[in-house]
């Protein structure tokens, strides 16, 4: 049985994602597609537009058979930890392939680079450290160090975001001695950072979010770039929650937290390095919005993503001490949803699993789950009081979503 | 020169307070009235309806010559610490009298009781401990222990709230070897806990607040029970701040704080005793308002005030460790406002003072001031973003209010 994993955020699920699922099936000749999906908060240090449950439904309605959660402790990290966590979950659930989109589109380039850098690790690290000392951000230092390596013209371009992630999936597969075979599909239309929804049917998730939240446009502007099931789910979410989640809704809590914490406490939060705690304690005083805070915080040294992640960990009160224990493999695998085919697979496979398979959070205890609950709480607090409690209860008690065949779009 | 101190909250200033100021002047033949006033948060663990600056203006417009701040570390405590802090500030500023309202109205009763209990301290404490063990709240145990003492019928009734405070003022005077002479005036009309604004011109501050906040009545319903200057100040505050401060506005932050804190952290907050941290961590989950939380929390063991104060210290992140160092005398005296007479007095007296006199918070550093700033931050966060920053800046940078004679009402 061919079981293919995809690592996703689906924020929200759109036509490009549907295309990726279909192409992944073809490319790997998959019998089953498993998505490892981030939960309430995403890699760029942002809350998801709609809940993990809504996004799970979108995935199941569009060809994904099982949705597993990528825990907060992996999902909100730089590419290496993110990829390590995701690959370990795919390993744990018995996937034998992973298929990711990339700018390069040629899996040999990834394999070659992983092998090359592993052989020339020392030289590479010397360059990385040099550029970090010169004041570059970490991703920029990685990419620039790479341009200094020999024969680099023939190798993978590590300055492209999806190439970086792909590189780390392949690296994680090697490092975890996994039997998973990596595949990649070339990303063509829609740039990751597009701000406008294009006329054609493929748009980036960024442009879709911008369109909905910031430009306050009618939902109809995104109807042609998402599957009907997504469109209906987004509308349902809006009706039920009276809005979408975004940083500005959570900013009052972030501001409160920063202003009532000691410098020492802010310094104990994960990602507080190089005096960032002093900088944020000063910048917050005048800021009346998250955007204002971020603009004040931003320097050449820190990427926007890095700063957003620090803000997120302050919000969720996630400490360096807690994150110190984040290793792979993931200590549990949580199922967010599945269709009948996915359910049959899980029932047949679960006895072979080395890690616990969790269907309801309340039944299992682990320090990572405490962090997950706090993250869910923060996510919920951005909504009205009645919705807050519903979302929090869902986090503890919601069983996996089971999509019956007749529900399929 | 006769300098008389009054200890007040003025939440808000009303006709009863005006009467108290005038009667205190007569009773003590005062040349100058100094009010020691609580700042953003009050003894019952609640935020003040309007800012300390507005309440200072109300006081200066109605016969008070100098308004000094009772720091958060004294203002939000049980009667003994509250009174100790206030008396130490009156000592420090050179007051030679204190005049308080009481149900008893006879200063001899207070003096007698202080002397009697000091002589029979051991017997009294045995009773107090006994009743605490039986599950009584602390104030209730104090009052009940008192009923067990000999000759108690001839003595001060310690079950009345203003008698308790008065007892502690007189006790503090003795314990601090102060030269202040205590006076008391009998409280007649308006019970402390009245919920309705009466027809006559004297109403309790509680009924005025209830009328404004909870019953959402027109401001006109309180016009006849407050001085014109207070009424105008309240209207100005409302226009500028788009509402009054109360616990429900701060509840989202309290909820966020409780839900993202560890049990250990909640246990380190001041007033977390007897497992109260477990109780609040459980009760908060379902609560959608402050009232709901309080109703869930309340048991015979804890007074409403005690629970509100614990909530307040959680909100302001005030730890047991910080409060351990709260002793008297107050390490500084902060002037919130004065008229010309008050200013002349301060200029003539300040060289004799043993503690620093602070006009602007930003010029002075002390651990208590860090707590004061956090409290001001929390108070401000209940308002709209633009107002928030204005209120926070005021806390650091606002000089004392100077009332010119022509402004007097």
The pLDDT tens digits of the residues spanning B126-166 come to: 998 999 888 887 778 888 888 888 766 677 888 888 999 99
Q: Which residues in chain B touch residue A386, judged by CB atoms under 8 angstroms apart? A: 288
Say what the pLDDT of residue B408 is.
Answer: 44
Alpha-carbon torsion A194, A198, A200, A204, what sign? positive
Residue B13 in marked binding region: yes
> Is B260 within 8 Å of A389 when comparing Cβ atoms?
no
Nearest residue in chain B measured CA to CA from A390:
B286
List phi, psi (to 5°) of B102: -150, 160
pLDDT in tens, B156-205: 888 888 999 999 999 999 999 999 999 999 986 555 555 666 667 888 88
Say what the pLDDT of residue B159 is.
Answer: 81
Q: Which residues in chain B touch residue A312, judged by CB atoms under 8 angstroms apart? A: none
Q: Which residues in chain B touch residue A385, judged by CB atoms under 8 angstroms apart? A: 288-289
End-to-end alpha carbon distance in chain A: 24
pLDDT band with cut points at 50, 70 and 90 for residue A219: confident
Average pLDDT (A71-84) is 96
- ipTM, two decimals, is 0.91
Q: Which residues in chain A touch residue B261, judged by CB atoms under 8 angstroms apart? A: 317
Asked whether residue A408 carries a pLDDT value surpassing 80, the answer given is no
Residues contributing to the annotated binding site of A for ATP: 7-20, 101, 162, 187
Interface check A119 vs B, CB under 8 A: no
Dist CA A255 CA A315 (whole Å) = 9
Asked whether residue A53 carries a pLDDT value surpassing 90, the answer given is yes
Measure Cα distances from B372 to A60, A256, B22 in Å.
Answer: 52, 15, 31
Asked whether residue A122 carries a pLDDT value surpassing 60, the answer given is yes
Asked whether residue A379 carries a pLDDT value surpassing 90, the answer given is yes
Q: Please, which contacts does B260-269 make with residues 24 or more away whose CB atoms are closer than 8 Å?
A: B260/A257, B260/A315, B260/A316, B260/A317, B260/A374, B260/A377, B260/A378, B261/A317, B261/B314, B266/B314, B268/B319, B268/B320, B268/B321, B269/B310, B269/B313, B269/B314, B269/B317, B269/B318, B269/B319, B269/B320
Sole residue written with tokens 């029970």: B225
Say what the pLDDT of residue B300 is.
Answer: 85
> Is A261 within 8 Å of B285 when comparing Cβ atoms?
no
Looking at the DSSP bridge assignments, the partners of residue B69 are B37
Dist CA A250 CA A156 (whole Å) = 38
Asked whether residue A221 carries a pLDDT value surpassing 90, the answer given is no
Q: Which two tokens stand for residue A256?
A: 């409160």
Interface check A257 vs B, CB under 8 A: yes
Sole residue written with tokens 């009763």: B109
Q: Which residues in chain A touch residue B386, judged by CB atoms under 8 angstroms apart? A: 288
Q: Which residues in chain B touch residue A392, judged by CB atoms under 8 angstroms apart? A: 285
> Is A378 within 8 Å of B288 when comparing Cβ atoms?
no
- Nearest-Cα distance to chain B for A291, in Å, is 13
Nearest residue in chain B measured CA to CA from A260:
B374
- Nearest-Cα distance to chain A for B294, in Å, is 16
Average pLDDT, chain A: 91
In B308-376, which ranges are E strands?
333-339, 357-358
Nearest residue in chain B measured CA to CA from A379:
B256
| pTM for this entry | 0.92
Say what the pLDDT of residue A124 is.
Answer: 87
Q: Which two tokens stand for residue A220?
A: 């109809």
Q: In chain B, which stretches have pLDDT less than 70?
A: 151-153, 188-199, 215-217, 405-409
Say what the pLDDT of residue A164 is.
Answer: 92
Question: Among candidates A312, A303, A298, A327, which has minimal Cα distance to A269?
Answer: A312
Nearest residue in chain B measured CA to CA from A316:
B260
Say what the pLDDT of residue B216 is.
Answer: 62
Which of B260, B289, B377, B382 to mutate against chain A (most A CBs within 10 Å)? B260
pLDDT band with cut points at 50, 70 and 90 for residue A409: very low
Q: Which two tokens stand for residue A241?
A: 């929650």
Q: Is the bond preceding A12 in cis, omega lying within 30 degrees of 0?
A: yes
> Is A260 within 8 Å of B286 when comparing Cβ atoms?
no
3-class secondary structure, A259: helix
CB A244 within 8 A of CB A257: no
């Amino acid at each position: 049985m061919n079981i293919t994993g995809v690592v996703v955020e689906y924020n929200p699920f759109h036509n490009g994602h549907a295309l990726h699922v279909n192409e992944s099936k073809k490319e790997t000749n998959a019998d089953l597609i498993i998505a490892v999906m981030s939960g309430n908060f995403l890699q760029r240090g942002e809350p998801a537009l709609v809940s993990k449950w809504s996004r799970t439904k979108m995935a199941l309605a569009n060809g994904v058979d099982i949705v597993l959660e990528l825990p907060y402790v992996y999902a909100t990290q730089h590419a290496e930890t993110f990829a390590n966590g995701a690959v370990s979950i795919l390993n744990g659930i018995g996937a034998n392939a992973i298929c990711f989109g990339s700018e390069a589109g040629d899996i040999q380039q990834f394999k070659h680079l992983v092998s090359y850098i592993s052989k020339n690790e020392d030289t590479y690290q010397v360059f990385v450290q040099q550029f970090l000392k010169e004041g570059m951000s970490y991703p920029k230092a990685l990419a620039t160090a790479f341009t200094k390596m020999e024969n680099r013209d023939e190798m993978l371009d590590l300055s492209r975001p999806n190439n970086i992630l792909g590189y780390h999936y392949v690296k994680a597969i090697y490092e975890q001695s996994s039997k998973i075979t990596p595949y990649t599909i070339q990303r063509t239309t829609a740039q990751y950072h597009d701000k406008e929804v294009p006329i054609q049917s493929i748009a980036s998730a960024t442009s879709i979010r911008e369109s909905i939240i910031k430009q306050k446009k009618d939902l109809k502007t995104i109807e042609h770039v998402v599957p009907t099931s997504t469109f209906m789910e987004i509308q349902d979410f809006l009706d039920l929650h009276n809005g979408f989640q975004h940083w500005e809704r959570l900013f009052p809590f972030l501001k409160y937290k920063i202003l009532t914490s000691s410098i020492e406490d802010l310094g104990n939060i994960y990602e507080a390095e190089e005096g960032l705690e002093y900088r944020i304690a000063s910048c917050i005083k005048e800021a009346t919005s998250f955007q204002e805070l971020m603009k004040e915080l931003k320097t050449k040294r820190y990427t926007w993503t890095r700063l957003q992640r620090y803000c997120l960990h302050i919000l969720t009160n996630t400490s360096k001490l807690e994150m110190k224990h984040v290793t792979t493999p993931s200590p549990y695998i949580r199922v967010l949803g599945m269709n009948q085919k996915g359910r049959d697979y899980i029932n047949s496979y679960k006895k072979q699993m080395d890690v616990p398979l969790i269907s309801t959070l309340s039944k299992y205890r682990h320090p990572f789950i405490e962090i997950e609950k706090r993250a869910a709480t923060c996510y919920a607090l951005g909504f009205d009081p009645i919705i807050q409690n519903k979302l929090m209860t869902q986090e503890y008690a919601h069983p996996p979503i089971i999509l019956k065949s007749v529900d399929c779009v």
